[in-house]
Structure 1
Amino acid sequence: MPVTRRAGLQISFARSAPAIALRRLSRMDDMARWSAADRADLFTAVAHQRGDMSAAVVEKDFWVCWILRRLFTLTDAPAGMIFKGGTSLSKVFNAIGRFSEDVDLSFDRADLGFGGDNDPARAPSKKQAKQRLKMLKEACQTVIRDRFLPRLAAAVGETLQDPAERNWKLETDQEDPDGQTVLFYYATGFATRGPLGTTYIPPVVRLEMGARSDHWPAENATVTPYAAEQFPAKFQHPGSTVRVLAAERTFWEKATILHAWYHAKPDKPLKDRQSRHYYDLVKLFEAGIGPRALHRLDLLAAVATHKTVFFADAAAKYDEAKPGSLRLVPPASRHAELREDYGKMREMIFGQPPLFEHLLAVLTEIEQRINAPT
């Protein structure tokens, strides 16, 4: 028997999986105003048809795409902004098959007054570079608090209207010591707690802001929710244009993270989900982005130079992040904890994840190709 909850939405449940029928095309903003239960019917149908992700992941992906549209259509935005990181690799480049809960964004530091001669990269000494980075951090915090957050809240409110009625909220993350993370809470149609209080998919999108990243090279691209990809005839204009860091640059950003971890002190604690960077680099290589990046060693040099100033860490040995001495394969002493961490990531990866041993084998191949004598 069909169950109708609202005008325009009808869900028919078969024995095997739900089938969805929307009576008319719907805009994402219209769907954002539906009840959480109505959206849950749609997201459940998508998850059943795909078979490789939960309905809660489909739901969160919808809100990731929806908030990205708000971000990149802000009127009077406080600074130029770019989309980067793991979520960009899955949503824009379709290069990795994992779900990332965070949206990495970077303001153009020149728009915050730190371009030209004020750029930390042009500081005459390490001490002055450190001072400028501190000032840049403070400027970014101020912009987020006083300009970005109020404007984003107004843009969200134009569609979702009353926060109490629609059960949404925007706030800075009080647990972020840098004060540069914004949390967007949305109304969910699914359980958010698992057995014994374990968390499933929390109904919040983390917007991790900052202004230290370089924005070159970048391109315009489109992000589309998984729900619209599964039911394209049911959505009206689901794509959103974003400015995104080039995948080849992200390849080298990831590679230098692995290089830094190779040189990390043996007693340095492994960060939670650190293994995602090893997975991402392998998937980028297998998607064809890595081989293209190998022809852009200028990007590797640019990333290493940039991190030397903006993410200074003597132990990372960024000066050795170059052909002949780049290190991607983790030390054998780290394999056990990385393998365990990778196992915990299983629920984030769509379909069957590659074996940890496969990651090591591909990383070995990439490292050998980069370091081979020319």
Structure 2
Amino acid sequence: MTDWEAIAECELFAQPVNDSDKDPQVIEIHYNSVVDTSEYLPQRVLIEVSSRSLMEPTEKREINSILSVNFSNLDFATDAYSIPTVLPQRTFLEKIFLLHEEFSQEPEKIRIDRLSRHLYDLERLMDTHHGVTALQNKELYNNIVAHREKFNPLRGLDYANHTPDKIKIIPPDTVIKEYESDYSEMTKFMIYGEALTFDRLVKRVSELQTRINEISQP
């Protein structure tokens, strides 16, 4: 099957919106998987088109599929190509703020589905060069908070509470069991090899929260 034949078998949908100014707009690309699938990991790619995303900092990175890297001599293999990507430091801080905002809401408003992956990502990044330098970069920290408040604010949320000493990234008791269940499902289908137990993950992210809370104020 050629690349174009494979693409022709995919289905493309634009998620319906009631407000034409909704941002981001989401496009779904549905594909036929050659491996076992699950409800947790649907056979689709989501593309979010936004005019309000923070543009910096980014860098050019080469990407390719796992199959092409490991089977580069076969017909279906494709060449790597370069695209602008968000720096891990920014991703690290964005995930911190996303969880803090989520857990600052009333319990009935806290989302569960597929959000435990952010806890996993934070644990994986926290001791790397990217995680350490992100917490040292006060300018980037403040720029991301200001951008979220201006362009993607949550109703009723006080962004003055995004200072390091007030950051909360541990699921509250009211939802922690649901997060544990979500994490269990996520590790079955998205993680290669061994994964931390949920209790160990929470302990590690608690260490990160303490690290953030102890940052000196700007």
Give the TM-score band, short-chain normalised. 0.7 to 0.9
Q: Which moved more, 1:276-285 or 1:251-260?
A: 276-285
Question: In the aligned structure 1, how far is the partner of 2:5 from the partner of 2:185?
Answer: 38
User: Which stretches of structure 1, 4 residues or longer, exceed 6 Å deviation after superposition?
Assistant: none
Question: In the alignment, what sits opposite 2:162?
Answer: 321
Question: In the aligned structure 1, how far is the partner of 2:6 from the partner of 2:114?
Answer: 36
Aligned positions of 1:228-267 closer than 5 A: 228-234=68-74, 238-267=79-108
RMSD over aligned Cα atoms: 2.8
Aligned partner of residue 142 in structure 2, secondary structure: helix
- CA gap of 1:357–1:268, structure 2 versus 1, over 3 A, is same
Aligned partner of residue 238 in structure 1, secondary structure: coil
Question: In the alignment, what sits opposite 1:209?
Answer: 49
Question: In the alignment, what sits opposite 2:116?
Answer: 275
Residues 265-299 of structure 1, C-alpha deviations (whole Å, 9 max, x = no match) = 12224331111111111112144321121111211
Question: In the aligned structure 2, how far is the partner of 1:362 from the partner of 1:319?
Answer: 26
Identity level (%): 26
Aligned amino acid, residue 146 of structure 2: T
Aligned amino acid, residue 184 of structure 1: I
Greater share of helix? 1
Question: In the aligned structure 2, how far is the partner of 1:219 from the partner of 1:297?
Answer: 20
Note if 1:221 corresponds to 2:66: no
Unaligned runs of at least 5 residues, structure 1: 1-31, 34-158, 193-197
Whether contact under 8 Å (1:261, 1:316) holds in the other structure is no
Q: How many residues align?
A: 211
Whether contact under 8 Å (1:304, 1:319) holds in the other structure is no
Distance apart, 1:355 and its partner CA: 1.4
- CA gap of 1:315–1:340, structure 2 versus 1, over 3 A, is farther
Aligned positions of 1:324-343 closer than 5 A: 324-343=165-184
Of structures 1 and 2, the larger Rg is shown by 1
Question: In the aligned structure 2, how far is the partner of 1:216 from the partner of 1:188?
Answer: 34
Distance apart, 1:191 and its partner CA: 6.2
Distance apart, 1:228 and its partner CA: 2.2
Whether contact under 8 Å (1:300, 1:322) holds in the other structure is no
Whether contact under 8 Å (1:260, 1:317) holds in the other structure is no
Whether contact under 8 Å (1:260, 1:315) holds in the other structure is no
Q: TM-score, normalised by structure 1?
A: 0.50
Aligned amino acid, residue 197 of structure 2: L
Question: In the aligned structure 2, how far is the partner of 1:340 from the partner of 1:173?
Answer: 27
- CA gap of 1:299–1:373, structure 2 versus 1, over 3 A, is closer
Question: In the aligned structure 1, how far is the partner of 2:122 from the partner of 2:36?
Answer: 33
- CA gap of 1:187–1:217, structure 2 versus 1, over 3 A, is same
Aligned partner of residue 194 in structure 2, secondary structure: coil
Question: In the aligned structure 1, how far is the partner of 2:173 from the partner of 2:117?
Answer: 18
